[in-house]
Amino acid sequence: RRVATLYNMMEQGAPMDKPTLTCRGVFVIGPDKALRMQVLYPASTGRDFAEIIRVIDSLQRTAVHKVATPVNWRPGKDVMVLPSVSDEEAATMFEKVQVTEVPSGKKYLRQTPDPAGPVVASAKKKDECTIS
């Protein structure tokens, strides 16, 4: 309880003098020992392990390649080329770069296939998925 209180993991409004459930915390720490992600779920809510794995996949790609993963991204789907990468550099780093036109005329929305390659997933049972 002392550690949970120190890290503010007790349910909001929980009385301090009575037993209570702690929030469920997920912390992803990088090889450099820096916190890369933290999520606190209320005690009444289960964790979404598929989302946790998706975030870890994204963190691994963006640590190695000069890309970002867009909203609702899944492994094997297109990623975004970072705005800090010039068009010339992108052409040498990635096999294919697609530019999305925007009203300002700037070329900062650039997609490229996932540099980690396609992912093959197979469902064995409902709600169970293996990725290879």
Per-residue pLDDT at 130: 47
* Distance, C-alpha 24 to centroid of its chain: 18
- pTM, to two decimals: 0.71
Give Rg (Cα) of the chain. Answer: 20
- Cα(125)–Cα(120) distance, integer angstroms: 16
Measured CA angle at 90 (ends 88, 93), to 5 deg? 115
Query: Is residue 68 over pLDDT 90?
Result: yes
- Per the model's pLDDT, the better-predicted residue between 69 and 121 turns out to be 69
Query: Is residue 43 over pLDDT 50?
Result: yes
Whether the Cβ atoms of residue 130 and residue 117 lie closer than 8 Å to each other: no
Measured between alpha carbons, how far apart are the two ends of the chain, in Å?
39
- Cα(118)–Cα(115) distance, integer angstroms: 9
Per-residue pLDDT at 70: 94
- Cα(129)–Cα(120) distance, integer angstroms: 10
Per-residue pLDDT at 40: 83
Per-residue pLDDT at 14: 66
Per-residue pLDDT at 119: 64
Query: Is residue 109 over pLDDT 80?
Result: yes
